[in-house]
Chain A
Amino acid sequence: MPPEPAHRLAPSARWLWRLQGLVGTLVVLLAGTALGGELEPPLDSLWPLAAVLAAVLLCVVVPELRWRRWRYEVRDEEIDIRRGTLTVTRRIVPMVRVQHVDTTRGLLEQLFGLATVVVHTAAGGTTIPLLEQAEAARVRDRIAILSRAPDDD
């Protein structure tokens, strides 16, 4: 296996994911309180367990695992990305294929001072999410300089 890409996402990305996981847990809790009483006897007392499981998975395990797996590196000729929680994908986007690149900031991202870099090729967008804003701007500008994709090739 080739050496890993050098850079990680911002450490605070984990907190953003944990926050999102919390929302998921709340959904399970709500569903449990609404429907828990209706279930058959052995199951009706088990739903709090499901909520705890969801909380542990979504707020602790998944964010940590995802953050550890997520790595990227921008080289002269290519963008190298490794990502995934269970299935780990290692992807190469050649610089000559990059048509343009921009950064976006969602509401939550602004709250955490983060930004997402979106790299566009003819085949669609590839994202490097949740970087520190300054870092995202650096990555974007560097990719913009390195990419010289001919419009129609």
Chain B
Amino acid sequence: MTTDEPAPEPEPDPALRERRLHPAAIAVLALAALREAAAPIVILIGVSVAGGGLEAQALLRSLGFLALGVVLSSLVGLARWLTTTYGVTPDGIRLSTGMLAKKRTDVPLSRVQGLDTVQGPVQRLLGVVAVNVQTAGGGAKGEIALDALDPRTAEELREAVRSLRPELAAERPAAPATERRLSRPMLLVAALTAGQLGVILPLLAGGSQFVDDLLFGRGNVGSASRLLPDKTMEWLLAAAVLLAVAWALSVAGALVAFAGFRIARDGERLRIRRGLLQRSESTVPVHRVHGVRVVEGLLRRPFGLATLRVEVVGYAEEASAARTLFPLLRRREVESFLQELLPELADDPGGLEPPPRRAARRYLLPPALAGAAVAALVCALEPSLFPWPFALAVLLGLYGLGAYRGAGWRLRDGRLALRTRRLSQSTLLAPAHRLQAHGVAQNPLQRRGRLADVAVSVGAGAGARVRHLEASVAWELWERLRPRGSLRDPQPVQKRVVGPP
């Protein structure tokens, strides 16, 4: 290794300039290779089992294929480990991989946005960690993924990066000032109420009861049963089973994703750790958080429970679990939670200004009429079903009423709150000076009724749109959200050279 090139201050540990991953990486890489080869192996085994005459012989042959797959993957893992090196130089972090086709990735330190430490099941078994180097637009796994490092080496790496870019401050928190954890009971509740599927299930149960009555003549509509094909019941059953499986999966998914969830504020960044099988730790710089969303699912709202999400600039590709600020907390605790961990965005999600009363029918009628139209169509095709399809109109009308009761807005001290309700209710809390854009929209009916919609977009493109506000209110809001005067960023932008407008 040459050390005679000019060494700008400060110089990282020379040992970090060129090194291999921890040998445990062989196992990690081999497993990855095995996973890539899984499909062909499964097909081979399937063919040999299906085509093999003698059972024992076929079994033996599939075992042989499996063993061959494991051996080959291990060899690939070894070869990949031998040909993978990484290093930290004053210029950045570098990773080179590849036996035949060499691939080299250089990430300048100026582009590094964080080092995420992840511990999957294999890594945990072998006592190593994976480090993902996060950059803007690098995707969920980061631009550079180091699959297995000794925990001490990972710490050295952080140290080296920190010594070169102190402002990155990726240090381990000595004693995090504030930390919040998700308790086990809350985790269970979060998992059970995860996803909108939990809503569909009871509805489906009710629906199947109804169909049951219809088909087996416990009501006086027995004649309808003859109109429905025999297979209907089977289809419904299959759909029910599918939904139940999907729900179970969503519960399991939430348990796995949010187990051990904890969040800590560490200076200018939030550190979030979560996960059961795949323990992941991510760091979100506070200045990238442009908004917080309080989401109250249909099953959670009656109990005053909500999920907190963040709207972040530059992390667009990440999964929704990664955008979760906290999986479940009581709605009335939201403001104090934010005061503690994210005071920059803390606001009360309640006490918003509703749209005017005369707007109610504009929320209610369109969905109700659409439902009625569909119901009329169904009844025209199957008159015997009358009047049941019109329940759809009532349901959609209730949905519209919910949308009206959920809508609200507030702009106080430069902090905007917009609330909308579809099935779940979502309140966006965002400082006005952080908005990406805002607008007011009016269709001809609204122009006549002196109403208007207000829409904002925040973070990486998500937004909120509150419909049918008083037009004068909407325009006043539009005016107050414009970038000028008191709404300017706390650190004013440097003076610019500008021509006359």
Q: Separation in Å of the B449 CB from the closest CB of chain A? A: 14
Which residues of A lie under 8 Å from residue B459 when comparing CB positions?
122-123
Q: C-beta contact mask, A122-143 vs B, less than 8 Å → 1, else 0?
A: 1110100000000000000010
Q: C-beta contact mask, B466-498 vs A, less than 8 Å → 1, else 0?
A: 000001000100110111100001000110111
Whether, in the assembled complex, B435 has its beta carbon less than 8 Å from a beta carbon of chain A, the answer is yes
Which residues of B lie under 8 Å from residue A78 when comparing CB positions?
482-484
Q: Of residues A88, A142, A148, which shows the largest number of chain B Cβ atoms within 10 Å of its Cβ? A: A88
Whether, in the assembled complex, B185 has its beta carbon less than 8 Å from a beta carbon of chain A, the answer is no
CA distance A89 to B454 in the complex (A): 10
Whether, in the assembled complex, B437 has its beta carbon less than 8 Å from a beta carbon of chain A, the answer is yes
A88, A96, A124: the one contacting B461 at CB < 8 Å is A124
Whether, in the assembled complex, A2 has its beta carbon less than 8 Å from a beta carbon of chain B, the answer is yes
Decide: B501 and A92 in contact? CB cutoff 8 A: no
Which residues of A lie under 8 Å from residue B493 when comparing CB positions?
96, 148
Nearest neighbor of B287 in chain A, beta-carbon distance = A153
Decide: A92 and B439 in contact? CB cutoff 8 A: yes
Whether, in the assembled complex, B178 has its beta carbon less than 8 Å from a beta carbon of chain A, the answer is no
Q: Separation in Å of the B438 CB from the closest CB of chain A? A: 6
Which residues of A lie under 8 Å from residue B471 when comparing CB positions?
1
Main secondary structure of the interface of A (DSSP, over half): mixed
Decide: A122 and B461 in contact? CB cutoff 8 A: yes
Which residues of A lie under 8 Å from residue B437 when comparing CB positions?
91-94, 97, 121, 123, 126
Whether, in the assembled complex, A90 has its beta carbon less than 8 Å from a beta carbon of chain B, the answer is yes
CA distance A48 to B68 in the complex (A): 70
B462, B463, B496: the one contacting A145 at CB < 8 Å is B496
Decide: A97 and B496 in contact? CB cutoff 8 A: no
A123 and B478 in contact, given A86-B443, A92-B439 (Cβ under 8 angstroms): no
How many residues of B sit at the interface, in one of the four size bands?
Answer: 35 or more
Which residues of B lie under 8 Å from residue A145 when comparing CB positions?
496-498
Q: Separation in Å of the A117 CB from the closest CB of chain B? A: 15
CA distance A124 to B458 in the complex (A): 10
Number of A interface residues, CB 8 Å? 33
Whether, in the assembled complex, A146 has its beta carbon less than 8 Å from a beta carbon of chain B, the answer is yes
Nearest neighbor of A81 in chain B, beta-carbon distance = B439
Which residues of B lie under 8 Å from residue A91 when comparing CB positions?
437-439
Whether, in the assembled complex, B122 has its beta carbon less than 8 Å from a beta carbon of chain A, the answer is no
CA distance A94 to B431 in the complex (A): 14
Q: Separation in Å of the A78 CB from the closest CB of chain B? A: 5
Whether, in the assembled complex, A76 has its beta carbon less than 8 Å from a beta carbon of chain B, the answer is yes
Q: Could you list 27 A-B pairs, sorted by A, with CB under 8 Å?
A: A2-B475, A76-B496, A76-B501, A78-B482, A78-B483, A86-B444, A87-B441, A88-B447, A90-B439, A91-B439, A92-B439, A92-B478, A94-B436, A97-B436, A121-B437, A122-B314, A123-B437, A123-B458, A126-B437, A145-B496, A145-B497, A151-B136, A152-B285, A152-B288, A152-B313, A152-B314, A153-B288
For the A-B complex with A2-B479, A91-B438, A93-B436 known, give 15 more contacts whose Cβ atoms are closer than 8 Å: A1-B475, A77-B482, A78-B484, A84-B441, A87-B442, A89-B440, A90-B439, A90-B441, A90-B478, A95-B483, A96-B483, A121-B437, A123-B462, A126-B437, A152-B287
Interface residues of A, Cβ cutoff 8 Å to B: 1-2, 73-78, 84, 86-97, 121-124, 126, 142, 145-146, 148, 151-153
Q: What 4 A-B pairs have minimum CB-CB distances, sorted nearest first?
A: A91-B439, A123-B436, A94-B483, A123-B461
